[in-house]
Structure 1
Amino acid sequence: MKPLLSGVLLGCSLLVSVQAFYSPSDDVVELNPSNFIREVIQSDNLWLIEFYAPWCGHCQRLTPDWKKAATALKGIVKVGAVDADQHKSLGGQYGVSGFPTIKIFGGNKNKPEQYQGGRTSQAIVEAAMSALRELVKDRLGGKSGSSGYSKQSGGGSEKDVVELTDDNFDKMVLHSDDVWLVEFFAPWCGHCKNLEPEWAAAASAVKEQTKGKVRLGAVDATVHQAVSSRYGIRGFPTIKIFRKGEEPEDYQGGRSRRDIIERALDLFSDNAPAPELLEILNEDVLKKTCEDSQLCIIGILPHILDTGASGRNGYLDVMVKLADKYKKKMWGWLWAEAGSQMDLEASLGIGGFGYPAMAAINLRKMKFALLKGSFSETGIHEFLRELSVGRGSTATLGGGVLPKIHSVEAWDGKDGQLPEEEDYDLSDVELDDDFDKKIEL
């Protein structure tokens, strides 16, 4: 596997690689940990999903046929792609160990089928239609596609499940600012063995999607009896939720990886701070914020001389409230003063709408949507809600190229000052006689 670079170079290389595979004009849906559950797992659609790596030659050769199949199946079967080199935990959940791997997500989304057919568009379409017929047949027969436990092996990494003991429990869990889901198990327990691959897969996904702010641990209650007795563990497996400064809560959800991940993301949303609202001071700020987010929300605020500090803070307060309301989406939030990033404004076509203005940008697809309503809590909420459900018109950002981002000084939080006019002393200026005569007349 190719080594990964870091920082801005990593973001740039990934952006180029993804665009080289599937552009916004293709019918292939780009999937990642942020949208996989919503788009695939919670969907009633049949999905064909390719797990690929940008450096994989076989994946590159498959791309034109995958695009062609997606177009042929549009409106019938959903076709997606996951960069499993970038999103390793997502590939790990489904046992992806080579590239490209194609899986069919049918009635039971927790147990996708491995596609073993040919790599031509014709073979892919035929396999999709065959799977669709089977899905319809099952539904006619009353099979809804059970969402029970998936027994697949290789669904995650056990190293992402933290081994907790009598000695480290208080330090790791109780004194931590992170949220913990802790499984108390017994090695001989059959239900615990069934849960193990689901718990490991969920641990890997949750670690990536919450950036380690929600963690999954496990306690062997037959060995570490002190901590198990403290929390009254009587049956196995027992799962408890621990939040700093609060009494532990019993986990009441399902035992599939999907159920565990969903609950973990809810906990993350409840406890996570709102994303920071940053001023666009240079290109690095924009790239770092937007390349790691599905969407980046950018407000272009009036010049400080037009609003003063109080007016600007009012607009910023509105953005902060919306960032908190949509924090579960893990979007990036940025702002700039009108005129400070003219190339960006031109790429977005913002000038015609006046200020304040707002755009939502998908930097990976180089697509954007503009706020057409009011720059208010209600107006922005409606704009973002429409985007969340896939509605609203979009356009290509600046012809598909990131506009130049200028380096500017950070706003100091104060009112603007008009430039001082210079006083001119004309006492020493000698005027000719003709000019003096004209003045006298």
Structure 2
Amino acid sequence: MRLRPLLSAACLSPVSWPQLSNALETIATAADLRAIERSATVHALLVIRTNEGGKGDERPSPEELVLSAYPDLPDIETELEGLVTFGVVDMAVHDKTSVGNQWQLPKLPALVMYQDVPRLNPYTGELYRAATPADISLLKKPQKLKKMLKSAIPTQFVYELEANDATWTFLTQFVQEKAQEVETVVLLISKQRHASPMYRAVAAELSDQGLSFVFLSKDEEAAEEVMKLLQVEEVPALVVLKSMTDHVVSSAEKVKTYGALKSFVEPFATPKGSKRNTSKGSKTSEGKSKFIRFFSGSEFDELVLHSDVVWIIEFMDSQREQQDLDEKKWKKTLTQLHRKAGVVATGAVSCEKEVELCERYGGSGVRVFPLELTSANRLKRAEVLPQKFTTIDEAKETAVATIPDLTVPITSPAELNAFTALARENHAMPVVFFTTKETTPPMIKALPLSVPTQKIMVAVLHDAGEDLKKQFLVDASAKTALVCLVPNQVQSEGPTSGQFGIIAYKKTTMGPYTYPNLMQFLLQVLAQYPHPQDTRFTSEEVDVSSLDLTSAQSLVPYVTKENFGDLCGGSKICVIGFFEDHLDTVADPESRLATWWITLAHVAAQSAQRGEPFQFIWMNGKCQKDFAEAFGVGLFQMPTLAVYSPSKQRFATNVGIFDELSATAFLKSVLSGSRSTAPLVGVPELVDECLFDEIQGAALGAGDVTEDDGDIDDMLSEILSDEKQQRDELEKESELKQTKKGKKKRKAKKNKSKKRKKKAARDEL
């Protein structure tokens, strides 16, 4: 959709703008955007450009343009009031600093979602979250959009009591533990199987305000006992528990709307920052210091182990915590690390409160959690260093030395020419650093690690000659200099041809060479000359048939013991391909493993085009035998697929022919709820990689056994034949239904019956 039709619609439409514009928030400044990045609530932003419009009073506002083009939006906003915040961003045509430039959207108008839970940014010390592009056509499909937005509301802020946890004993223990942490428990008891989107939205909005949100389904066996002891007579009911003897029960009316639910719970919340002790003196416990970040056991894995920075963590025993922690010293250390290295952060763990976490890392003391690079030059968390330090200062130099180095050392003009050619070929921005030092400064190593959404390559020239410096407009007497090479002339041959322009860091105006100053300079250059990473947007223009093994590796990565938590953890919904051949056999493009992998990549690409929320991975089912069997996948059932939700511990496995058609149908059935899921109890840990002979040898052995067993071959052939016949019958039924769509009455009747059936069979993964 172009903007001129939007403008025409705005001029002709008779809608009442003041009434409709209440449905949208205008995001105009960087401060507005930062507030969204820090928020845990779901935001849907429509990005447009209005500079082509009229002048003066005749020029419609961004809100008017949006609402004229999408008249259903006010009704959607009203129905989702409180659950989702809608906004509009107007990107100026000639303003390189416009809010939203960092999204690098291929075309406008566009729809951008903020739906992830904010994480701590170690560089700034603030919470942030990334934006996700969505299909703009969803605004024309209200039902589909509402369903997607409701499912996007975070589940992490509500703990659902199930099985052994859904008892009075566990609830009592839980409330007592939270009371010690000065937190109030909010309990929703409902007939539903899972917490409603409304309840999850309130929990997200009031997160980090002294409240712990819990959900209990009335279908649980011990629910009646809990209701009786809490004096709950009807459901849904909301109970606020300061302790087991001090609780308040709401009426059912309080949980019917978002406003009523929030108004009942909010008075029990503790405003953010009110628990922080900012007075001088002892800062001995978690949350009382601005510069000492204490991590709980539940936060540690997410904020430390899964982050992209080097961490120095002090595990404090009770004696250390009772001391007057020198906050000025912590601040000085943190400032020095930020100026010098950027990607090194500090934190603490209370061994008195987090006994298990402390024991996991050897008791009290200071430990360094470094990063390392994969074979594809991707960051990953390395093993904690074996050394134990006494103080943060003592560990500082060791931590800085572990920063991974992606920079390229240059010793001659020929190497520099090769470097710039390689950067141009990879569509990356070349950054050249001149220094007289023998080693590369940590802040320079940190630059390419700090902009993961952009492609930059950094070259380091040690003791460069005067002629080379002049070539890059660097003063011959300068000991240190930094320049960015940007495209200033693109030839007709393509974007990788043409000349480079030079943008140099000016110390006189930008300040000394520190990590914050260099990052500010680099981000300003990238805002004007973006070099985005290869991002997969939902697009119908993707040619799935052209996918090869290289594309398959990015669409469907191979999962191992080391990367499983990153690829399939948290609230992700994983599609796991269980294949039986060793990874080394994929070197042959004609091998069956290569064929399976590319087939699954085709399915993944098509799934991304449809906007489905899946993370695709594959593993060797023979090597990970115990893990595969937990999903009901045996030796003779590979290749096959399974859908797995780690947060809900539920799964569904596809049984049948492995091809694009059956795999796609399987995934759609899981999303629609027509394919039921099962609970997964006790997920086995992945084992170390198996040797080639262990896998392919097993394959040969299996072949020898089956040669003598003709009955098995006949049985398998019969099963496959039956499945093919069933699929053919389903296709015929589908074609028959399509021919009847022209008759409106019969179509409406069918749709109603389908909705009833889906509702009855719905399964929430």
Q: TM-score range by the shorter chain?
A: 0.3 to 0.5
* Greater relative CO (CA pairs within 8 A, separation 6+): 1
* TM-score, normalization by structure 1: 0.41
* TM-score, normalization by structure 2: 0.25
